Structures are given as C-alpha cells and as structure tokens.
Amino acid sequence: MPKVTVLPEGKVIEVAAGDSVLNAVEAVGEALPFGCHAGTCSSCMTRVVAGMEHLESPDAQEESTLDTFDAEPDQRLMCQAVICGDITIDYSDA
C-alpha cells in the first residue's frame, strides 16, 4: 500500500492506491483542509514535497483551478490528486 507522509507533523499513513489524497487521508481519520471536494475552490492546494511522480497527472478541472490560483509547480489539489505510490505533502505553507 502507498504511504502518505503528512508534514509538518510527520505522520505516515498507509492508503489505498487509486483514491484521491484527501479521501484516503480522511478514510483513516486524519484531516486536511478542504472546502468543496470538487477541485474548484483551491482550499486543499498543498505542496508535494516528494513523490509528485506517484500522483496521476492533473485532469482538466484541476489544471484550470491550479492555473486560476497561480499554483506553484509543486502544488496539487488534494481532492483531485490520485495516489499511485508514496508521497510526502506539506500543507503548512501551501
């Protein structure tokens, strides 16, 4: 199972591949900031510190929201980013 390391706490969570980061983290009782779950509000935009290659490519909706909110290249929407392998995220400075 893939692992998501959540900074700044350093908590490591085993999650199911193929789910969004937000859904996978919520399923194990952890919380990340979010607003809509639809990829339109950007409140779950988070830095991917390691493992960007272990997320599926953004779809058109996510790309549009990332562009609208001037996301940096290392930022993704956790409600849209689909896990394929181990990643490390840091939402403290997103």
Residue 78 φ/ψ region, left for φ over 0, alpha for ψ in the -120 to 50 degree band, beta for the rest = alpha
> Other CB atoms closer than 10 Å to residue 24's CB: what's the count?
23
pLDDT digit string, tens, across residues 58-93: 999 999 999 999 999 999 999 999 999 999 999 776
Domain extent listing, the chain = 3-90
Beta-bridge mates of residue 76: 46
- pTM, two decimals, is 0.87
Fold of 3-90: Ubiquitin-like (UB roll) (3.10.20)
Q: How high is the pLDDT of residue 93?
A: 65
Structure tokens at 21: 């980061």
Among 46, 35, 33, 37, CA closest to 77: 46
pLDDT digit string, tens, across residues 41-61: 888 899 999 999 999 999 999
Q: Say if residue 16's pLDDT is above 90.
A: no
DSSP 8-state class, residue 64: H
Q: How high is the pLDDT of residue 94?
A: 55
